[in-house]
Every structure is written in structure tokens, then in C-alpha cells.
């Protein structure tokens, strides 16, 4: 089995892009990634594109072919990957496995979503399909409601407070201020979060990630070849994926995400490292409780201690384990199909020392964590920098 590296990255600014179409967004990110890699389109042998709900959002299916067409990559095989909010991370894993198996040497991975072309109600219905439509959405359980149940369970079991949840949002908005491609560029306070109004108790408006347009892309290459053509390749040293029940009612516990726990364990075993070896992490904070559940399941802190661990500053940019230095889904934005790829873009920038004001000091190993739905899917990658051509 061969090793796989990222040699090029691209990402649009995340936000409300009324002036840009779905295809324009993915073309922008894809072209940036190809130019960043210093290659030509003819070098790419296959394409995997992550998009969760393009049919619902813009009436467009057949996304793999659309992306290949927009980037001038025909006639290579192009495949759409859908895995709810983990569509991007799963597309990345699909390309990783295609190269690792020996089928291809170089693959393009994209993720895109155009979410603001429909109203909030229609967007909520589209996103609700990431859960169990029959037993949850049909009965009125929106995604804020599902994560609110998980938050309440964590609070009841471990004493986590709403103020501790709010510190996640405050931190990630602060980090987003340092990211020119983030959706939100304004600081917020715990008081702002606490006064922002309940969406589903105990989650308030500022505990929730926004509706976002955006796209991201990476170019993957077999590692030996990557060293020959790239000055600063970043190797994916482990990729892992796990699943859980689609509906919360089938879970053994509401106070943890088992798929994250399993994926993290498998990834660390493959890479022969532990959570203590990770220098920074981009985790799936679709709601503030989701970040707390993630850092516990990955092993950055003890189960039940995530709220206090965050409130004490351990996940800040200069903390023990910086988490979501890009701004995360909460501050950077969450165009669902693009999120997992954007996490990888941030990891590459950090490991190359190119993250500017949000650069993590001496970053050697990074982690990306992308979740589908309320935790039915988790895709996790570990990455480290390599020495390339001189």
C-alpha cells in the first residue's frame, strides 16, 4: 500500500455569495488548488466531489460530471460523494484510498454547497435529511433540536453549563477574525451568546453554525511522486471512518458520539501515535456542544470535562491543543459539502507554516474531524508535513 500526500489546496471565501453560482464557486476553488500544486489538468487522473444536498438547494444533481466539466478535466472519471455533512471528508477519504490502492497517482478532490438560494425553512428541510427523516424530522426534530438533546444529556450527566458552551463560540469567532476566508469577522462575548435567543434549549442562535455558500479543493498525489514535484507536500498519515445509528433513539448514549471515538482510535492506531502527539485540530462544531463532544471522543480531554477544558483556554490558539483555529464551522462557515475539504486546506496551511496570524507554533501533526448528521458518520484524518523537492 502506498502513501498519499496533498500537494495543492484551494478555497473560496465562505459566506453568502449572491453574486456567484454553484459552478463558479467550485471552479474558483479547483483552479486555485491546481495552480497551488503547480500541475496541469492533464496530470489529474480522477475526481471526487463532495456535495450533500445540491438537488434540494439548487436543483442540480450529477455533481461529479459538473465539476469535471467546469475544471476542463474531461474525460477522467468523476464521482459525486454524498455522506451528509461529512460529504467532503468522505470524498477526501475516497481519493486517498484510490491512490493508496495503486489505481491512480494523482486525484482532485472538491467540496461545494450553495445554500443561500433557498429560504431558511427549505434549508432546514434539506439539512434535516442528514438525520432520520421518518422518526426525527417528520415529527419536528430539527438538527438544533437533536443537538440540544445531546447538550442536555451532557449537562445532566457532567454538569456542563451554557456558559461553557458559549466559550466555544467566542473562541471560534475570535479565530475567524484571523482568517480572511471566514464568513464572520466580528468578535463576540459570552454575554452576546447568552442573550442571542434560544433556538432549541439549551442551544441559542450563537451556539449554531450558519447557512453558508462556499467551495474547497485539494490535489492528492502518491507521496514519492509528491516529493519530486512539490516543495512542501503534506502527507495523510491515517484516514478512518466509522458509523452509528442514524437516529438518536438508537444510540447507547446521547452524551458522546461513538463514531468519532471509533474513527479516532482507528486513525491513531494506523499512524502509531496518540492524541497527545497532535498539535492542532479542525473539528466539526456545527453546534457548540459538537466541539465539546469531539474533543472528548478524540481524547484531547476526559469524557465530561470538555466544557471546562474549553473554558479554561486549553483549545485556544495558544492553548494546550488549538482547536478550530480557522474559525471552525461556527466562525468560518459551514457549506456542508465543502466543510471536510476546507478542514484539510486549513491543516495544510498550518503544516506548511502559511496560516499567517492564526499560525499554530511548531505545528507538525494536524487532525481533521468531519461528522455527518448527528454523528451517524465520522471521517477523521491525520496529517503531517513532508520534505519535498529542493
What is the distance between the alpha carbons of residues 119 and 200, in angstroms, rounded to a whole number?
A: 19
List, for residues 251-299, the tens digit of each pLDDT value.
999 999 999 999 999 999 999 999 999 999 999 999 999 999 999 999 9
pLDDT score of 124: 83
- Answer for the pair 324, 172: CB distance below 8 angstroms, yes or no: yes
- Residue 334 catalytic? yes
Write down the pTM of the prediction. Answer: 0.97
- Of the candidates 11, 85, 221, 301, the residue annotated as catalytic is 85
Instruction: Specify the length of the chain in residues.
Output: 390
Residue-range domains of the chain with CATH: 4-119+211-234 (3.40.47.10), 140-209+236-385 (3.40.47.10)
pLDDT at 390 over 70: no
| Sign of the torsion angle spanned by Cα atoms 287, 288, 292, 295 | positive
- Of the candidates 154, 173, 174, 334, the residue annotated as catalytic is 334
Q: At what angle do helices 143-158 and 288-298 cross, to 10 degrees?
A: 60
What is the distance between the alpha carbons of residues 279 and 273, in angstroms, rounded to a whole number?
A: 12
pLDDT at 1 over 80: no
pLDDT score of 129: 87
For the stretch 268-272, contacts whose Cβ atoms lie closer than 8 Å and that sit 24 or more positions apart, written own/partner, are 268/238, 268/299, 268/382, 270/237, 270/238, 270/239, 270/240, 270/382, 271/237, 271/238, 271/382
- Residue 85 catalytic? yes
What is the distance between the alpha carbons of residues 371 and 377, in angstroms, rounded to a whole number?
A: 6
Lowest mean pLDDT among 67-76, 119-128, 355-364: 119-128
Coil, helix or strand for 222? strand
Residues contacting 206, CB < 8 A, separation 6+: 166, 169, 188, 192, 193, 196
What is the distance between the alpha carbons of residues 290 and 208, in angstroms, rounded to a whole number?
A: 10
Amino acid at each position: 500500500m502506498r502513501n498519499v500526500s496533498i500537494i495543492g489546496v484551494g478555497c473560496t471565501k465562505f459566506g453568502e455569495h449572491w453574486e456567484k453560482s454553484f459552478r463558479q464557486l467550485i471552479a474558483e476553488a479547483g483552479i486555485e488548488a491546481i495552480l497551488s500544486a503547480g500541475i496541469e489538468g492533464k496530470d489529474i487522473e480522477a475526481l471526487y466531489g463532495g456535495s450533500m444536498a445540491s438537488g434540494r438547494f439548487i436543483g442540480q444533481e450529477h455533481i461529479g460530471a459538473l465539476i469535471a466539466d467546469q475544471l476542463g478535466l474531461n474525460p477522467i472519471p468523476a464521482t459525486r460523494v454524498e455522506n451528509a455533512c461529512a460529504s467532503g471528508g468522505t470524498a477526501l477519504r475516497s481519493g486517498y484510498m484510490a491512490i493508496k490502492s495503486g489505481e491512480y497517482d494523482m486525484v482532485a478532490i472538491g467540496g461545494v454547497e450553495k445554500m443561500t438560494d433557498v429560504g431558511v425553512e427549505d434549508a432546514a428541510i434539506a439539512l434535516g435529511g442528514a438525520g432520520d427523516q421518518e422518526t426525527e424530522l417528520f415529527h419536528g426534530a430539527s438538527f438544533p433540536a437533536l443537538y440540544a438533546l445531546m447538550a442536555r444529556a451532557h449537562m445532566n450527566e457532567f454538569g456542563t453549563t451554557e456558559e461553557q458552551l458559549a466559550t466555544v463560540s467566542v473562541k471560534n469567532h475570535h479565530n475567524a477574525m484571523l482568517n480572511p476566508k471566514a464568513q464572520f469577522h466580528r468578535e463576540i462575548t459570552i454575554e452576546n451568546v447568552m442573550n442571542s435567543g434560544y433556538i432549541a434549549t439549551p442551544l441559542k442562535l450563537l451556539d449554531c453554525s450558519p447557512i453558508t455558500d462556499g467551495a474547497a479543493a485539494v490535489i492528492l498525489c502518491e507521496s514519492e511522486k509528491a516529493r519530486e514535484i512539490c516543495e512542501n507536500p503534506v502527507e495523510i498519515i491515517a484516514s478512518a471512518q466509522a458509523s452509528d445509528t442514524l437516529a438518536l433513539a438508537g444510540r447507547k448514549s446521547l452524551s458522546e458520539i461513538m463514531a468519532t471515538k471509533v474513527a479516532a482510535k482507528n486513525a491513531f492506531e494506523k499512524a502509531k501515535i496518540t492524541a497527545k502527539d497532535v498539535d492542532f485540530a479542525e473539528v466539526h462544531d456545527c453546534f457548540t456542544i459538537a466541539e465539546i463532544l469531539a474533543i472528548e471522543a478524540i481524547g484531547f480531554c476526559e469524557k465530561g470535562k470538555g466544557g471546562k477544558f474549553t473554558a479554561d483556554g486549553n483549545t485556544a490558539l495558544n492553548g494546550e491543543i488549538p482547536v478550530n483555529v480557522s474559525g471552525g464551522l461556527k466562525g468560518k462557515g459551514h457549506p456542508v459539502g465543502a466543510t471536510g475539504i476546507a478542514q484539510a486546506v486549513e491543516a495544510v496551511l498550518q503544516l506548511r507554516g502559511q496560516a499567517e496570524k492564526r499560525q499554530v507554533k511548531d505545528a507538525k501533526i494536524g487532525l481533521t474531524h468531519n461528522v455527518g448528521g448527528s454523528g451517524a458518520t465520522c471521517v477523521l484524518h491525520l496529517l503531517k508535513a513532508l520534505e519535498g523537492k529542493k
